[in-house]
Amino acid sequence: MDLNLAVLIDGDNIPSTYIKEMMEEIAKYGNPTIKRIYGDWTKPDLAKWKKILLENAITPIQQYGYTRGKNATDSAMIIDAMDILYSEKVNGFCLVSSDSDFTRLATRLREAGMKVFGIGEKKTPNPFIVACDKFIYLEILKYEAEENESESTDSKPLPKNNVDKITPKDIKLISHTISDVADDDGWAFLGDVGSLLQKKQPNFDSRNYGFQKLTPLIQSIKHFEIEQREAAKGRSKLIYVRNKKQSRTSSKK
């Protein structure tokens, strides 16, 4: 069942150039039934949002900065989020900001049973990232859109040099996650691996490493092996993965 999402955007904190890619990404996870953006619209630097808001049916919420040094926009977003929560009109939220001030809000919404997606730039502090169920970097969405304008496939890397960003820590995370959901022979259904990776590290995204999907990312790492299995009639093949060291251990028995 599709989630009904409330999309709340920190207009003072997010560049307008990302809006198209961001809304397309949000549509993958649910139906954005409420779309609001917060900011002081009397400021000249927010004027560039006007046309974009009309094109995407996003409602601007005016919030004056009454006190210098205080972020009134954050307060308005938090108050509205709680009002929407108690209205029971949605079952998920998308908080668009790179500001750690929304960490407690994300935590509170999840405590209430809401699915919480975070979207922000790579400068976003880790406390806000881990407070969300899933966190998506805007830079990846922008690059992905530019690649899609040219020719692209599921297995084609995004920025080629991003493949080198797969660190020993990343490999250890994937390896332990495979072990957590594996059967007695060490094989784990890749869908279960992906879901658990997301729970362990909300900003885990194969696109961050240069791949559109998790399967080609796993295939690019020599520590793992992949097996395709026949599924029910008319369905795609199921993908299973295991740590190669487990494979060697099993073969010695």
What is the percent of the chain where pLDDT is above 70?
A: 83
pLDDT tens, residue by residue, 125-155: 999 999 999 999 998 887 765 655 554 555 5
- Does the pLDDT value for residue 71 go beyond 70? no
* Residues carrying CATH 3.40.50.1010, the chain: 3-149
Q: Which residues are within 8 A (CB) of 188 and not within 5 positions of it... i.e. 6 or more apart? A: 178, 179, 181, 182, 240, 241, 242
* Residues carrying CATH 3.30.420.610, the chain: 160-252
pLDDT tens, residue by residue, 90-100: 999 999 999 89
**Confidence (pLDDT) at 128:** 96
The Cα 77–Cα 22 span in angstroms is: 18
The Cα 253–Cα 249 span in angstroms is: 7
Phi then psi dihedrals of residue 169, to 5 deg: -65, -40
Task: Rounding to the nearest 10 degrees, give the CA dihedral for residues 214, 119, 132, 161.
Answer: 40
**Confidence (pLDDT) at 147:** 59
The Cα 47–Cα 16 span in angstroms is: 10
Cβ neighbours of 42 (radius 10 Å): 10
Q: Residue holding tokens 């594996």?
A: 182
Q: What angle do CA 126, 128, 132 make, to 5 degrees?
A: 115
Domain at 3-149, CATH homologous superfamily: 5'-nuclease (3.40.50.1010)
Q: What is the pTM (predicted TM-score) of this model?
A: 0.82
Phi then psi dihedrals of residue 46, to 5 deg: -95, 0
Instruction: State in words which class domain 160-252 has.
Output: alpha beta
The helix (H) or strand (E) run that includes residue 211 is: none
Closest CA to 50 of 16, 80, 96, 9: 16
Closest CA to 105 of 137, 136, 72, 127: 127
